[in-house]
């Protein structure tokens, strides 16, 4: 019997692959055996990561640079990713941006950019790649959302709104694609201590009030989220569809 977390040969697209959480997700999926299509804006960063992953894990890796704030780039990414290995088994919509602003300071350009990257791009990729998965009769879509999508977070008006939209997009994908054997789920972490997380939340005075609301008493590590992504991509979650898996140490239970 194949181990449930053995993803050998699963053709997988990861967006936002070259920074923070995306890099950890990429390495974790590669360790599980996935063949990878990696996307981010920088070709140089993608190729460097691809070389490391191939050397460490021996899987197949293709890179497709794309700016997910551009709808044309997003559509092209979907087509290129599907063509790389003649189809995809897993889509991980990880790419996301956050521009902290108070409600009264939000500007249209920032709002539109956050919505384009955090909601429109995963929705379009879910639609286009989901259609191909449905034709093949199987697939798993994993959207990286945030607890900020279900609990209001000050100074994150556009970010929280985009992640709330992503949670609903996930549920609609699950509803419409499920009958064709395609599952769609989301992962909602609390603060993840990537390099960016360290920069934003590394000061004890700022972090303490947030940590005090987490029953486990600490923020998430990248591996906590990557493990959840692997679970949702694997056959171990074969009956899990339309679920938001919170990786927040209990933050959202209060």
Residues labelled as active-site residues: 159
Say how many C-beta atoms besides its own lie within 10 A of residue 3's C-beta: 12
Q: State both tokens at 88.
A: 């995809």
Residue from 188, 251, 254 nearest 214 by CA? 251
Euclidean distance between CA atoms 29 and 8, whole angstroms: 9
Q: Could you tell me how far CA 243 lies from the centroid of its own chain? A: 14
Position of tokens 């590590």?
221
- 87, 80, 53: which is closest to 66 by C-alpha? 80
What is the per-residue burial (b if ≥16 Cβ within 10 Å, else e) of 196-213?
A: ebeeebeeeeebeeebee
């Amino acid at each position: 019997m194949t181990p449930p977390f053995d993803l050998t040969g699963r053709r997988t697209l990861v967006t936002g692959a070259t920074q923070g959480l995306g890099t950890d997700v990429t390495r974790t999926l590669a360790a599980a055996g996935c063949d990878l299509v990696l996307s981010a804006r920088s070709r140089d960063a993608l190729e460097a990561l691809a070389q490391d992953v191939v050397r460490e894990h021996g899987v197949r890796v293709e890179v497709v640079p794309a700016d997910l704030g551009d709808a044309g780039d997003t559509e092209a990414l979907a087509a290129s990713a599907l063509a790389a290995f003649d189809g995809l088994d897993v889509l991980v919509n990880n790419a996301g941006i956050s521009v902290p602003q108070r409600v009264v300071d939000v500007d249209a350009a920032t709002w539109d950019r956050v919505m384009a990257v955090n909601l429109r791009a995963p929705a379009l990729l879910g639609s286009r790649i989901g259609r191909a998965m449905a034709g093949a009769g199987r697939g798993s879509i994993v959207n990286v959302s945030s607890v900020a999508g279900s609990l209001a977070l000050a100074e994150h008006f556009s970010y929280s709104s985009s992640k709330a939209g992503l949670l609903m997009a996930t549920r609609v994908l699950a509803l419409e694609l499920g009958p064709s054997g395609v599952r769609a789920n989301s992962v909602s972490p609390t603060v993840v201590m990537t390099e960016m997380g360290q920069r934003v939340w590394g000061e004890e005075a700022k972090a303490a009030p947030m940590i005090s609301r987490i029953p486990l008493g600490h923020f998430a590590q990248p591996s906590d989220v990557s493990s959840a992504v692997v679970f949702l991509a694997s056959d171990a979650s074969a009956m899990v569809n339309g679920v938001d898996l919170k990786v927040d140490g209990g933050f959202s239970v209060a």
